[in-house]
């Protein structure tokens, strides 16, 4: 099997990830993503599956790998992968099968609490040696508990359902919008109700986005959608930045159309220094690291390796992303 499974990634992650490969007893070859395309292509020439930590993939590399059948992404999003073009080359693209869903769900809830309680301002005040400073005076009347709020989950896949699971016991009313309905047994267990998007937006105190970036989801939250939200509502995004029309969000925040936002992703990353969201006291921004945990890394790689072994053995891969 040597050379049939390639793990393509950055050198700083090699030791940890190859330790997991060894633990799983999978014969996989490491290839450094920092090498030039021709070197990477030569080292991947025999690959049937490329398992990659990278967020983007060059179709020229696929063309140089005649045996390639699967590109296995270790993250949840595949918007940096030319799924349509690869499909024409008979190369499937799969994500991590929910390997980081718990980490992202926990981070989404942290952003809900952090945005409601102005945690970034509290931390900043302490770091600046001002202790409470003016945080209580300026923001006290605008802080809230998550308990008792209506949380609208947009996108009820692996991550969205993990958010719902983790909010059990928080005394929240849970709603969701998705093109696919959750099986009744599962929705009953999660105590969650399906609504059309416009209705969900109008009744939710918290709207949390867990959809991929596709042609159909680009700017799915813009002026019209923000205008439907409660004036005290907050918007959470741990999915992909382009799902939100950032200019519309900035206008809505400035005008008080919504109360705040907690964002792990932005339209342009890293953001430009003049991005107004970075200077707003009612916006909490983290640097696209919602899925960062040792546990998520382990689960994602174990899933990816098992998917690779399946394909090498002649079986169909799991968690395949269909062309848009």
Q: What is the pLDDT of residue 231?
A: 97
Q: Which of 107, 240, 246, 267 is catalytic?
A: 240
Any catalytic annotation for residue 240?
yes
Residues 23 and 57 in one domain: yes
Any catalytic annotation for residue 269?
yes
Output helix, strand, coil percentages for the chain, rounded to the nearest 5. 40, 15, 45
Q: Tokens 């928080």 label which residue?
A: 170
- Whether residue 33 is contained in a domain is answered as yes
Order of all β-strands in the sheet with 92-94: 29-32, 5-9, 49-52, 70-73, 92-94
Residues 60 and 201 in one domain: no
- Whether residue 89 is contained in a domain is answered as yes
Residues 148 and 16 in one domain: no
- Whether residue 243 is contained in a domain is answered as yes
| CA-wise closest residue to 202 among 178, 172, 224 | 224
Residues 280 and 140 in one domain: yes
Q: What is the pLDDT of residue 3?
A: 83
Residues 52 and 122 in one domain: no
- Whether residue 220 is contained in a domain is answered as yes
Q: Tokens 């080359």 label which residue?
A: 89
- Whether residue 125 is contained in a domain is answered as yes
| The total number of structural domains that make up the chain | 2
- Whether residue 318 is contained in a domain is answered as no
- Whether residue 317 is contained in a domain is answered as no
**Averaged pLDDT in 10-residue chunks for the chain of 324 residues:** 85 94 95 94 96 91 95 92 94 96 98 98 97 95 97 97 97 97 97 98 98 94 98 98 98 98 97 97 97 96 97 97 87
pTM value is 0.94
Q: What is the pLDDT of residue 323?
A: 87
> For residues 146 and 256, what is the distance between their CA atoms, to the nearest angstrom?
20
- Whether residue 17 is contained in a domain is answered as yes
> For residues 309 and 317, what is the distance between their CA atoms, to the nearest angstrom?
9
Residues 50 and 119 in one domain: no
Virtual torsion, Cα 240, 245, 246, 247, nearest 10 deg: 170
| CA-wise closest residue to 215 among 79, 57, 75, 72 | 79
Residues 154 and 178 in one domain: yes
Q: What is the pLDDT of residue 56?
A: 87
Residues 107 and 94 in one domain: no
Residues 89 and 203 in one domain: no
By residue range, what is the domain housing residue 304? Answer: 5-99+293-312
Any catalytic annotation for residue 194?
no
Q: Which of 19, 181, 269, 295 is catalytic?
A: 269
Q: Which residues of 176-191 are buried (b: 16+ CB within 10 A; e: fewer)?
A: bbbeeebeeeebeebe
> For residues 81 and 30, what is the distance between their CA atoms, to the nearest angstrom?
20
Residues 18 and 93 in one domain: yes
Residues 217 and 92 in one domain: no
> For residues 248 and 264, what is the distance between their CA atoms, to the nearest angstrom?
17
Contact 153, 174 (CB under 8 A): yes
Residues 134 and 276 in one domain: yes
Identify the CATH number of the domain in which residue 218 sits: 3.40.50.720
């Amino acid at each position: 099997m040597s050379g049939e499974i390639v793990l393509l990634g950055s050198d700083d992650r090699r030791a940890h990830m190859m330790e997991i490969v060894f633990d799983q007893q999978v014969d996989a070859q490491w290839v450094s993503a920092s090498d030039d395309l021709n070197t990477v292509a030569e080292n991947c020439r025999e690959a049937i599956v490329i398992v990659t930590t990278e967020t983007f993939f060059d179709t020229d590399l696929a063309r140089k790998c005649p045996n390639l059948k699967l590109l296995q992404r270790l993250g949840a999003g595949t918007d940096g992968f030319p799924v349509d073009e690869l499909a024409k080359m008979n190369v499937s693209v799969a994500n991590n099968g929910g390997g980081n869903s718990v980490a992202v769900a926990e981070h989404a809830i942290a952003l809900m609490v952090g945005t409601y309680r102005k945690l970034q301002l509290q931390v900043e005040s302490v770091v600046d040696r001002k202790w409470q400073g003016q945080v209580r005076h300026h923001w006290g009347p605008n802080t809230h508990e998550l308990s008792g709020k209506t949380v609208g989950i947009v996108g009820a896949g692996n991550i969205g359902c993990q958010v719902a699971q983790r909010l059990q016991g928080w005394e929240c009313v849970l709603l969701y919008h998705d093109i696919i309905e959750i099986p009744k047994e599962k929705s009953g267990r999660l105590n969650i109700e399906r609504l059309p998007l416009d209705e969900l937006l109008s009744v939710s105190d918290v709207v949390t986005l867990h959809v991929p970036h596709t042609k159909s989801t680009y700017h799915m939250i813009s002026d019209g959608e923000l205008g439907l939200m409660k004036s005290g509502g907050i918007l959470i995004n741990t999915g992909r930045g382009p799902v939100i029309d950032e200019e519309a969000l900035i206008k809505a925040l400035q005008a008080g159309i919504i109360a705040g936002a907690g964002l792990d992703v932005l339209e342009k990353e890293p953001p430009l220094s003049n991005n107004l969201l970075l200077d707003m006291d009612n916006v909490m921004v983290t640097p696209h690291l919602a899925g960062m945990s040792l546990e998520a890394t382990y689960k994602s790689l174990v899933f990816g390796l098992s998917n690779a072994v399946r394909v090498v053995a002649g079986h169909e891969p799991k968690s395949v992303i269909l062309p848009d």
